[in-house]
């Protein structure tokens, strides 16, 4: 009986320590929405691409056992402070904002991921790597930026740009389900990789 108790205790302790650095909740923030359509070209609106990708990410994370929270699940306008408030209300979480890019320089294309704090950088690096492992794109890097939703986040937070609506080749791909599925796969792989780093104590 005593041996069994010690075995259970040892198992519980190892389980606790293995979970110590990990997080359980992913707050998924689909950029823009409602009257804010984001970047657009013709009928291709960033707000729709971001929401579709966010919903794919949500489904994949749930299948892996993560708890997920969506800042929006339909075409509604949510203020930037409103998004931050949702993210910060979930303890032991990370915040992943999903966007598609736009620039007046039409030849620019590729993927980039932004972070604002040192403890968010490993997450940004992992998600950028994850996306590039799934689609053949220009690597614009994992970079520092002071975007509102990542600047005001209490937890590790990143802003992902899954390709340029302003570039004709990339716009053609963002319109296709397989492409958004691949971007979602890459984001999820990055989140899993980052969670493993947290669990192993390599990042905090």
Q: Footprint of Zn ion on this chain (CB under 5 A)?
A: 31, 38, 99
Q: What distance lies between CA 28 and its chain's CA centroid?
A: 6
Which of 80, 78, 61, 81 is closest to 69 using CA atoms?
61
Report d(CA 150, CA 152) in Å as an integer: 6
CB of 163 to Zn ion, least distance (A): 12
CB of 136 to Zn ion, least distance (A): 23
- Closest-by-Cβ residue to Zn ion is 99
CB of 83 to Zn ion, least distance (A): 12
Report d(CA 81, CA 159) in Å as an integer: 15
Strand, coil or helix: 127: helix
Q: Which CB sits closer to Zn ion, 31 or 163?
A: 31
According to DSSP, the residues that pair with 49 across neighbouring strands are none
CB of 124 to Zn ion, least distance (A): 16
Strand, coil or helix: 118: helix
In contact, 122 and 171? CB cutoff 8 Å: no
Q: Which CB sits closer to Zn ion, 174 or 195?
A: 174
Length of the chain: 204
For tokens 């932004």, the residue is: 114
Strand, coil or helix: 145: coil
CB of 54 to Zn ion, least distance (A): 12
Q: Which CB sits closer to Zn ion, 33 or 38?
A: 38
Q: Which CB sits closer to Zn ion, 83 or 99?
A: 99
Q: Which CB sits closer to Zn ion, 130 or 163?
A: 163
CB of 46 to Zn ion, least distance (A): 5
Going across the sheet that includes 93-101, the strands are 67-70, 25-30, 93-101, 157-164, 111-115, 139-144
Q: Which CB sits closer to Zn ion, 66 or 115?
A: 115
């Amino acid at each position: 009986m005593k041996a069994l108790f010690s075995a259970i205790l040892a198992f519980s302790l190892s389980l606790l320590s293995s979970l110590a650095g990990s997080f359980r909740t992913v707050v998924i923030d689909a950029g823009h929405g409602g009257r804010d359509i984001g970047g657009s070209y013709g009928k291709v609106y960033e707000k729709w691409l971001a929401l579709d990708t966010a919903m794919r990410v949500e489904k994949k994370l749930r299948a892996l056992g993560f708890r997920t929270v969506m800042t929006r699940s339909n075409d509604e306008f949510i203020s930037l402070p409103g998004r931050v408030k949702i993210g910060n209300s979930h303890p032991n979480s990370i915040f992943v904002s999903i966007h598609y890019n736009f620039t007046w320089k039409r030849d620019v294309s590729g993927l980039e991921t932004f972070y604002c704090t040192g403890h968010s950088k490993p997450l940004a690096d992992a998600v950028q790597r994850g996306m590039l492992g799934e689609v053949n794109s220009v690597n614009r890097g994992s970079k520092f930026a002071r975007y509102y939703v990542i600047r005001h986040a209490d937890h590790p937070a990143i802003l992902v740009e899954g390709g340029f609506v302003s570039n004709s080749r990339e716009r053609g791909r963002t319109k296709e389900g397989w492409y958004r599925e691949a971007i979602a796969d890459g984001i999820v792989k990055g989140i899993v990789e980052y969670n493993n780093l947290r669990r192993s104590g390599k990042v905090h």
